[in-house]
């Protein structure tokens, strides 16, 4: 049996372990926030955002950001139906209503035209999720936001390294959120980041992030509001600082792997992968293959082939509206169709050429086998 190829894993070097060891040995007392403060400062600088707050998860960052905007019962938040549940959970926790709209067929990101159609007097925010490193049309979404006064929020959990016409994903909207889960290009094991260039919003989230205790409050242990505890530890932040020093290397490797897949799969008809349009850079977090309906290739065929080849392969996100907790099933054609004929491909820093070839050959073999079987069926029916 060949070694299993995992769908992703982090790149950890002596730099990360050295910083983590220093934080564990010395990051207490007066130094208990040293790596956290550094990580926030350097991440904000890398992104081009004025302010950053390290959090325990991207979900926590989103929860606090939405709360700081005053979103609650009676409000609506528009988001792509193609999403992980982490994006919609904070909306539900705050008592607001999610409005699921369709995605574009090429980027798999939220469709601005569908957003426009779904705006009501109750709409308070639009969440733009940069899925798998692909970029939302931020020009169109920001224009809608400016015209309507609705906040445009970037869920950049999967988009570190992605750039929209000179601006890094996550730095463009009212606020942005990032994930540093162990599967992400930059990891702290678990963790996230809230970023914004709005000073007032930053202060609100900073207060909420510390159990509602404002930093201007002089009374000790005196909260000014009911807040949250979505904090990152100093040890996690130490790993993040090291990863951030290597960020260009980490993103570059992700892009190399996506490019290698594209070359190997270029002989196949009816397949598309993560796009990169003029003026943009795709951070390529998760290479994804989507088959045209006419090919007849489906998710189950792909999963079976990868399992047989001892390769991990993630399914494309199911539409949120297909989940049992949501009664309404909107006619979001692309969000419902694409997952049925798509698969996420393995991608990690030390993946070898042989690994990439093995994954690509597994995909190619599925297509060839399906074409051969279809030809046999056609011959028999003739």
pLDDT at residue 49, as a whole number: 96
Query: Among all residues, which ones are annotated catalytic?
Result: 184
Note whether 151 and 123 are within 8 A (CB): no
The whole-angstrom separation of Cα 270 and Cα 294 is: 8
Question: Following DSSP, what letter does each residue of 10-50 receive, concatenated?
Answer: ----HHHHHHHHHHHHH-SGGGTTHHHHHHHHHHHHHHT-S
Q: CATH number of 14-243: 3.30.420.40, 1.10.3720.10, 3.40.50.80, 3.40.640.10?
A: 3.40.640.10
Region(s) of the chain under CATH 3.90.1150.10: 247-380
A 10 A CB-CB count for 152 gives 23
Whether residue 97 contacts residue 91, with contact meaning beta carbons closer than 8 Å, is answered with: yes
Residue with the bigger pLDDT between 277 and 313: it is 277
Q: How far apart are CA 292 and CA 338, in angstroms?
A: 9
Based on DSSP, count helices (H) and strands (E) in the chain, helices before strands.
Answer: 12, 14
pLDDT value, residue 372: 60
Q: Residue 281 in contact with residue 162, Cβ under 8 Å?
A: yes
Start-end of H helices in 183-264: 199-209, 234-245, 247-264
Contact status, residue 205 vs residue 197, Cβ threshold 8 Å: no
The whole-number pLDDT of residue 2 equals: 80
Does the pLDDT value for residue 376 go beyond 90? no
Based on the number of CB atoms within 10 Å of its own CB, is 219 exposed (0-12), middle (13-18) or buried (19 or more)?
exposed
* pLDDT mean over 237-241: 98
pLDDT per residue over 163-217, tens digit each?
Answer: 999 999 999 999 999 999 999 999 999 999 999 999 999 999 999 999 999 999 9
What pLDDT, in 10s, does the model give residues 56-104?
999 999 999 999 999 999 999 999 999 999 999 999 999 999 999 999 9
Give CA–CA dist 6/252, Å, rounded: 20
Contact between 19 and 10 under an 8 Å Cβ cutoff? The reply is: no
The pLDDT value given to residue 374: 56
- How much is the mean pLDDT over the chain? 95
Q: Parallel, antiparallel, or unpaired for β 271-272 and 288-291? A: antiparallel
- What mean pLDDT do residues 366-378 have? 66
pLDDT at 370 (0 to 100): 84
Cα maximum dimension of the chain: 86
Q: Looking at domain 247-380, which CATH architecture does it have?
A: Alpha-Beta Complex (3.90)
């Amino acid at each position: 049996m060949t070694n299993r190829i995992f769908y992703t894993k982090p790149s950890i070097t002596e730099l990360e372990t050295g910083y983590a060891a220093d934080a564990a040995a010395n990051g207490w007392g007066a130094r208990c926030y040293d790596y956290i403060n550094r990580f926030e400062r350097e991440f904000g600088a890398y992104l081009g955002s004025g302010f950053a707050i390290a959090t325990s998860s991207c979900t926590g960052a989103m929860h606090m950001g939405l709360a700081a905007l005053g979103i609650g019962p009676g409000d609506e938040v528009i988001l792509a139906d193609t999403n992980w549940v982490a994006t919609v959970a904070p909306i539900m926790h705050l008592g607001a209503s999610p409005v699921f709209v369709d995605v574009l067929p090429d980027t798999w990101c939220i469709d601005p035209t569908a957003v426009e159609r779904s705006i009501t007097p109750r709409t308070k925010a639009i969440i733009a999720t940069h899925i798998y490193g692909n970029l939302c049309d931020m020009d169109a979404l920001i224009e809608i936001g400016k015209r309507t006064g609705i906040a445009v929020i970037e869920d950049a959990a999967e988009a570190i390294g992605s750039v929209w016409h000179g601006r890094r994903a996550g730095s463009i909207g009212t606020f942005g959120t990032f994930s540093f889960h162990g599967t992400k290009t930059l990891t702290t094991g678990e963790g996230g980041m809230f970023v914004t260039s709005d000073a007032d919003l930053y202060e609100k989230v900073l207060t909420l992030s510390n159990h509602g205790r404002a930093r201007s409050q002089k009374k000790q242990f005196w909260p000014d509001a009911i807040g949250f505890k979505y904090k990152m530890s100093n040890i996690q932040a130490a790993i993040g600082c090291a990863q951030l020093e290597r960020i260009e290397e980490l993103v570059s490797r992700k892009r190399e792997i996506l490019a290698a897949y594209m070359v190997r799969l270029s002989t196949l008809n009816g397949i598309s992968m993560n796009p990169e349009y003029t003026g943009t850079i795709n951070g390529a977090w998760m290479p994804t293959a989507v088959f045209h309906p006419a090919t007849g290739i489906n998710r189950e065929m792909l999963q079976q082939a990868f399992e047989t080849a001892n390769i991990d392969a993630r399914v494309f996100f199911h539409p949120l509206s297909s989940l049992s907790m949501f009664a309404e099933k909107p006619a979001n054609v692309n969000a419902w169709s694409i997952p049925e004929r798509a698969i996420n491909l393995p991608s990690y820093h030390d993946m070898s050429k042989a690994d990439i070839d093995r994954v690509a050959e597994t995909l190619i073999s599925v297509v060839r086998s399906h074409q051969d079987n279809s030809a046999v069926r056609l011959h028999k029916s003739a």
